[in-house]
Amino acid sequence: MNQRTISQVVEVIGIGLHKGEPIKLRLEPLGVNAGIVFYREDLALTIPLSPSSVVDTQMATVIGNEKGTISTIEHFLSAVYAYGIDNMRVVVDGNEMPIMDGSAASFCLLLDEAGIQEQDASKKIMCIKKTVEVRDGDKFVRVEPSNRATFDFAIDFEHPVIGQQSQAYSFGTKPFIEEIARARTFGFARDIQYLQSINLALGASLNNAIGLDDEKVLNPEGLRFDNEFARHKILDAMGDMMVTGHNILGAYSSFAGSHKLNHELTVALLADSANYEMVSLSKVQSREFVKSFA
């Protein structure tokens, strides 16, 4: 399997989560070895996708520099990861990605519309060679060697709807669409009220997130999965790991992980070349992993 880009330019407009303003997103093909490149059209600012570009992880994964930033890239990047796209230009006209419905489903549809183009260069993947772990008390995120690409996430919230949840996912484009992509982000009404009082989360609504009060889900339609919260955490983790710019062959696991810990994991992973090996997908021994992009 070779590197991938998209077949044609596609555009969509959606609301930004924090400013509540329309954001135009355009995806453009790029040549081999170009990577995933973000571009602020309103600032003529190019931001390469890399852990070194991450400037904030408090509420979302944010990339940029002193000239400008782009927030909430993780939902979009989870779809990019699932589709195995290596080279693409991501153009926005504001400081955040559109939130769409709070999941990655709309981005999957956008990539389906764009189509996938195989390129004339071998696809490189990051093969994990040593276990790397980052902890914060009992919270942790970890990647370890495996001949399969898996994500395993557990959470524990003191809330009657959430409680203890977990989800295990074996990587593949089709399973992502069926099991993970539709899982929405979630937030508590009390937190949203505070954030909006300081001019954040102005675009948040029950149309783009699961809303919770102290006892129940506020969305009239309810949940899409019984453990939608844990599934969304896997979606976030996939997007955060895509900040490395590559698909990963290894086992990711977490208890109560966050964007912050995921970022620290990518930094720790790349800090020592003994932790991983960049290999051509054609030389990977795991047929299951190679077929997962079909």
Q: Give the domain ranges of the chain.
A: 2-122, 125-182+225-291
Q: Please name which of 131, 132, 221, 134 lies closest in space to residue 182, comparing C-alpha atoms.
A: 221
Residue 98: burial class (beta carbons within 10 Å; 0-12, 13-18, 19+)? buried
Angle subtended at Cα 278 by Cα 274 and Cα 280, rounded to the nearest 5 degrees: 150
Domain 2-122 is in which class? alpha beta
- What was the pLDDT predicted at 201? 84
Give the pLDDT score at 19.
85
Enter the pTM of the model: 0.96
Q: Does the pLDDT of residue 287 top 90, yes or no?
A: no
Over range 223-251, report the average pLDDT: 98
Q: How far is CA 260 from the centre of its chain?
A: 13
Q: What is the pLDDT of residues 28-76, one digit of tens each?
A: 999 999 999 999 999 999 999 999 999 999 989 999 999 999 999 999 9
Cα dist. 68→34, 36, 51, 221 in Å? Answer: 21, 18, 16, 37
Q: Is 191 helix (H, G, I), strand (E, B) or coil?
A: helix
The answer on pLDDT for 119 being more than 90 is: yes
Q: Looking at residues 162-167, what average pLDDT do you find?
A: 98
Question: pLDDT value at position 193?
Answer: 83
Q: Are 208 and 20 in contact (CB under 8 A)?
A: no
Query: Which one is catalytic: 18, 232, 259, 263?
Result: 259
Catalytic residue status for 259: yes
pLDDT over 80 (residue 89): yes
Q: Is 218 left (phi over 0), alpha (psi -120 to 50) or beta?
A: alpha
Q: What is the mean pLDDT of residues 214-220?
A: 96
DSSP string for residues in 118-134: EEEEEPEEEEE-S-EEE
Assign 293 a pLDDT band (cuts: 50, 70, 90): confident
Q: What is the CATH number of domain 125-182+225-291?
A: 3.30.1700.10
Beta-sheet strands, E only, within the chain = 2-6, 10-15, 22-29, 36-40, 45-48, 54-56, 62-65, 68-70, 88-92, 116-122, 124-128, 132-136, 139-144, 150-157, 163-170, 186-188, 210-212, 248-249, 251-255, 276-280
